[in-house]
């Protein structure tokens, strides 16, 4: 999955296109299957996405070990390669699963 994720996150426009495509699909499912409004589904998805982003951000971070690459004022615990585009796509995919599961639970609970 790592190589596939790197391919999807090769550039910022590609990353944004993947995120927009997944988001559009999830919103269409939420509106058609669960009778949510577009705004309501986007708002709930944003909350889920933002929450999971902070879960995924620290994964697989490694600090910079080469002292010559650390600039003055840089936090010594800052990741050497944060891979933010990959983490944005991973957050989007995981958020889609959690979002669809959450709206099913909400429907079963009568919310």
In a domain, 52, yes or no: yes
Residue 1: pLDDT over 70: no
Mean pLDDT score, 30-41: 92
**pLDDT score, position 76:** 78
In a domain, 16, yes or no: yes
In a domain, 71, yes or no: no
In a domain, 102, yes or no: yes
Answer for the pair 92, 49: CB distance below 8 angstroms, yes or no: yes
In a domain, 70, yes or no: no
Residue range of the domain that includes 55? 2-59+79-109
**pLDDT score, position 97:** 96
Domain count, the chain: 1
In a domain, 66, yes or no: no
User: pLDDT for 48-80, tens place per residue?
Assistant: 999 999 999 999 888 878 878 888 888 878 888
Residue 38: pLDDT over 90: yes
Q: What is this structure's pTM?
A: 0.85
Contacts of 35 (CB under 8 A, 6+ apart): none
Whole-angstrom distance, CA of residue 68 vs CA of residue 15: 31
In a domain, 19, yes or no: yes
| Helix, coil or strand: residue 62 | coil
**pLDDT score, position 75:** 83
């Amino acid at each position: 999955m790592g190589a596939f994720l790197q391919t999807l996150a090769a550039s910022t426009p590609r990353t944004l296109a993947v995120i927009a495509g997944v988001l559009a699909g999830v919103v269409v499912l939420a509106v058609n299957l669960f009778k949510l409004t577009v705004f309501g589904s986007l708002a709930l998805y944003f909350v889920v996405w933002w929450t999971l982003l902070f879960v995924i951000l620290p994964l697989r971070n490694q600090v910079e070990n080469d002292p010559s690459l650390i600039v003055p004022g840089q936090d010594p615990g800052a990741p050497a390669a944060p891979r933010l585009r990959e983490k944005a796509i991973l957050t989007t995919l995981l958020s889609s699963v959690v979002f669809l599961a959450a709206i099913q639970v909400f429907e079963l609970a009568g919310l």
